[in-house]
């Protein structure tokens, strides 16, 4: 795992937030539901790029080219995210999906692996905006010990190599720890390569 604290300076964070506002105007945040149980997740989500990660009761975790509620294609991935992937991703093909998670109030994300992609040779790159998220990361087995890292607005994490399939999650958000978002809370953007380059 590679950790780049404050990879985006305040100007870069505001610029990315502006891009995110444009994305959400076209592809609104929605509440995803868990496979089988249909339980709502506590985060709200949207995506940009050719593919987006979605989940629902009937069809479970998957990537698809359209927003599940509007039926429209996801908005394009902003150039600054493509540049960031190129800069720190260490992978010669572009990302295909950028999942946007919004954590408000008590939202969290349980320990999981990102394994719905075909190609684990590509990294997963995450960017945080807004309030601190208490990130927990372990090993490739759910039983492996975990450690905590407080992700601040502008921090970038790359899960690659041995850690590409590391279990990770967000224990909680620390409210009031950033002034970037008027509405408070935290956005996390994760860039993924989904298909094997041919």
Give 114 or 117: the residue with its C-beta nearer to Fe ion.
114
Quote the tokens at residue 161.
Answer: 């190599």
Candidates 126, 154, 178, 194: give the one binding ligand SIN (CB under 6 A).
Answer: 126
Measured CA distances, 91 to 95, 123, 157 (Å)? 9, 7, 15
C-beta of residue 109 within 8 angstroms of C-beta of residue 160: no
Least distance to Fe ion, CB of residue 198, Å: 25
Could you say whether residue 154 binds ligand SIN (CB under 6 A)?
no
Task: Please state, in angstroms and rounded to a whole number, the distance separating the CA atoms of residues 95 and 189.
Answer: 12
- Interactions with Fe ion, residue window 134-153 (CB under 5 A): none
Could you say whether residue 189 binds ligand SIN (CB under 6 A)?
no
Pairing between strand 186-192 and 124-130? antiparallel
Could you say whether residue 102 binds ligand SIN (CB under 6 A)?
no
Could you say whether residue 168 binds ligand SIN (CB under 6 A)?
yes
Give 67 or 186: the residue with its C-beta nearer to ligand SIN.
186
Quote the tokens at residue 20.
Answer: 């995110």
Candidates 33, 101, 153, 178: give the one binding ligand SIN (CB under 6 A).
Answer: 101
Task: Please state, in angstroms and rounded to a whole number, the distance separating the CA atoms of residues 50 and 73.
Answer: 8
Q: Which residues bind ligand SIN (CB under 6 A)?
A: 101, 109, 126, 133, 135, 151, 168, 170, 188, 190
């Amino acid at each position: 795992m590679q950790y780049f604290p404050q990879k985006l300076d305040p100007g870069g964070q505001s610029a990315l937030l502006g891009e995110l506002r444009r994305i959400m105007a076209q592809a609104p945040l929605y509440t995803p539901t868990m496979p089988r149980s249909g339980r709502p997740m506590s985060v709200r989500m949207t995506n940009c790029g050719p593919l987006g990660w979605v989940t629902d009761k009937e069809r479970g975790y998957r990537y698809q080219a359209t927003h599940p509620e509007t039926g429209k294609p996801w908005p394009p991935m902003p150039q600054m995210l493509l540049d960031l992937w190129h800069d720190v991703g260490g992978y010669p093909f572009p990302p295909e999906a950028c999942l946007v998670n919004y954590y408000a109030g008590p939202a969290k994300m349980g320990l999981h692996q990102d394994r719905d992609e075909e190609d684990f040779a590509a990294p997963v790159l995450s960017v945080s905006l807004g309030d601190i998220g208490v990130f927990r990361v372990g090993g490739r087995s759910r039983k492996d010990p975990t450690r905590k890292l407080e992700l601040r607005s502008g921090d970038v994490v790359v899960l690659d190599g041995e850690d590409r399939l590391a279990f990770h999650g967000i224990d909680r958000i620390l409210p009031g720890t950033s002034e970037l978002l008027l509405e408070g809370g935290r956005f996390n953007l994760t860039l993924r390569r989904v298909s094997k380059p041919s």
